[in-house]
Amino acid sequence: MNSVSSLEIRLTDGSWYAVCDPSSLTPGRGVAALLPGGRQVAVFLDRAGRPYALSNRDPFSGAYVLSRGLTGSHEGRPFVASPLLKQRFELATGRCLDDEEIAVQAYEARVRTEEGVRETERTPERVPAAP
């Protein structure tokens, strides 16, 4: 029997928003999702099944492309590299690893199943996002 699950992110008002079924994601690859109010997020699952969500907007180019970036790891910290200018953004915090004054918004993400929330729920370290 398949259990129903959803990847959810916490919105700025504190509510949880179901983005997709995590089984539709490929670990290491991102997808873009539209949030209420028109904001875009880039959603990722790492190879261990941990969910991450960042703003999809690349602050260097202004394009909504981070979901199409390459994922990797630097000093044990997972990141996504922008497909345009290649700046790397830490998935857990949104911090730019190549310019410490820049960050994108990171969202708390979790996987909810019929049995409850999986252990992958985590709260990102809060980093102020660049305007």
Three-class secondary structure of residue 26 per DSSP: coil
| The pLDDT value given to residue 114 | 78
| The pLDDT value given to residue 50 | 92
| The pLDDT value given to residue 125 | 53
CA distance 85 to 57: 13
pTM to 2 decimals? 0.84
| CB distance 79 to 73 below 8 Å | yes
Encode the chain (131 residues) as per-residue pLDDT tens digits: 356 789 999 999 999 999 999 998 999 899 999 999 999 999 999 888 899 999 999 999 999 999 999 999 999 899 999 999 999 999 999 999 999 999 999 999 999 987 766 644 445 554 444 44
**Token pair of 47, please?**
């190879």
| CB distance 125 to 93 below 8 Å | yes
Residue 53, CB-side half-sphere exposure with 13 Å CA sphere: 28
| The pLDDT value given to residue 115 | 77
**Token pair of 82, please?**
């922008």
| The pLDDT value given to residue 113 | 85
| The pLDDT value given to residue 47 | 84
CA distance 20 to 96: 26
